[in-house]
Structure 1
Amino acid sequence: MIRGYHKRPGTTVPIEVARALRKRLTRQEAALWVRLRRLRPAGFGFRRQVPIGPYVVDFACLKARLVVEVDGGQHGLDAHAARDAVRDARLAERGFRVARFWNHQVDRDLDVVMDTIFARLTESRPSL
């Protein structure tokens, strides 16, 4: 394996879909992306709008197997929350942990969001 390169997970999503989503980040996703890029010198490179299986996740650090999602209000609806739970379980089956944040958290407490993400990146994981 090339140093610093982590294999892209398999996907059924056309790459054009992910590319289009990268061009249409929400305001909160754009603000978080700027901050996530600052983690690269610490060894945590993130990608945005990453296809994993049948999903496109907002951000992923493949090295740490961490997905970061920024959710709007629709995710609070019962039906959407149920779909998110299934999605998170399927990502976990692929070895990913999911950290979810609300848009208002990114707007109001970006430093706290980043501290939480960094803690999740550096926490020890049980051996598989």
Structure 2
Amino acid sequence: MERRQIIPYNPKLKEIARQLRNNSTLSEVLLWLELKGKKMRGYDFHRQKPIDNYIVDFFCHELMLVIEIDGISHTWEEVAVNEEIRQRKIESFGIQFLRFDDKEIKQNMSFVLNTIHDWIVEKEKIPS
């Protein structure tokens, strides 16, 4: 049986993650309704998951996949630079990212779900 890679996280972020789950944005709630309960091809996703010194919107350990929803704050230059640093650090653990705009979630959920589905199908084709 293959062992799951242990991904470090800062335990101090657990309470912050819980608060974020309890105060989710509309886009996070809408996407969560589509991912929870292994609805996406049987994979278990978690929301507001601490990884290293960061918290990601959605994470599937089995796929090593983070899904992020970019809202208005992500358009500011300083935030964008910090997001890039954050993403590179998380990717250093072998994790891949899918990013969606807040508007995409609200206005074109079928596109978002098809993109995630297609990414998973491609990942399943690659032997581990």
Q: Into which bin does the TM-score normalised by the smaller protein fall? A: 0.7 to 0.9
Displacement of 1:69: 0.6
8 A Cα contact 1:8 1:62, kept in partner: no
Name the CA shift for 1:87/1:127 in 2 (closer, same or farther; >3 Å).
Answer: farther
Q: After superposition, what is the alpha-carbon deviation per residue over 1:69-127, rounded to whole angstroms, capped at 9, x for unaligned?
A: 11111101111111111111111101110111111010100110011111222223877
1:76 paired residue number: 75
> Where does residue 8 of structure 2 map in the other structure?
10
3-state SS of paired residue (2:62): coil
For structure 2, list consecutive stretches of 5 or more residues without a partner in the other structure.
none
| AA partner of residue 43 (structure 1) | G
Identity fraction in percent: 29
1:7 offset after TM fit, Å? 6.2
Q: Secondary structure at the match of 1:11?
A: coil
Structure 1 unpaired stretches of 5+: none
Aligned length: 126
1:18-64 deviations in Å (ceiling 9; x for gaps): 11111111000000000012644722110000000000000001100
TM-score calculated relative to the size of structure 2: 0.86
